[in-house]
Structure 1
Amino acid sequence: MDVTILGHGCKNCDALEARTVEALAGLGRTAEVAHIKDDAQIAAYGVMRTPALVADGRVLVEGQVPTAARLAEILATVPAT
């Protein structure tokens, strides 16, 4: 699974990244989590509010920082690769 955090490195972006890593670990999945901070690259995903979570090219979360438990629920919908 390809996982990407979109955001400029603010505390919410960092929190989303940390919770995403926690959620993945809870699911027993390993993934390298990339962090894109460039405005043009973020806009290419069609994201208007950061932070955002993208998995396998699909925007799953935008403009919020869900709990690790909620992120695990969301990420569980993405087929393991």
Structure 2
Amino acid sequence: MGASVVPIAVFTVFWGVIGIVCPIFAPKGPNRGIIQVVLMLTAATCWLFWLCAYMAQMNPLIGPRLDNDTLIWMAHAWGNPYKQ
């Protein structure tokens, strides 16, 4: 599995709309600035968290730990010769 441009673009547009477009429609009042900042910070942090989680899947630090019996069965099922 490799990185794809489509999910990155879709989530960037989604969180961009939340962080850039939604603050424009914040209700008028004494707390409008706070609501706008909250929307922008929420969008930025959620996008960054999603990006880190997505990129961590590209090259995981820890791989699956399999028993020797499982490896032998996988080699047999996939038609690969198992050499001891």
Q: TM-score normalized by structure 2?
A: 0.29
Structure with the larger RCO, 1 or 2 (CA within 8 Å, 6+ apart): 1
Higher helix share: 2
Higher strand share: 1
Q: TM-score normalized by structure 1?
A: 0.29
Bigger CA radius of gyration: 2
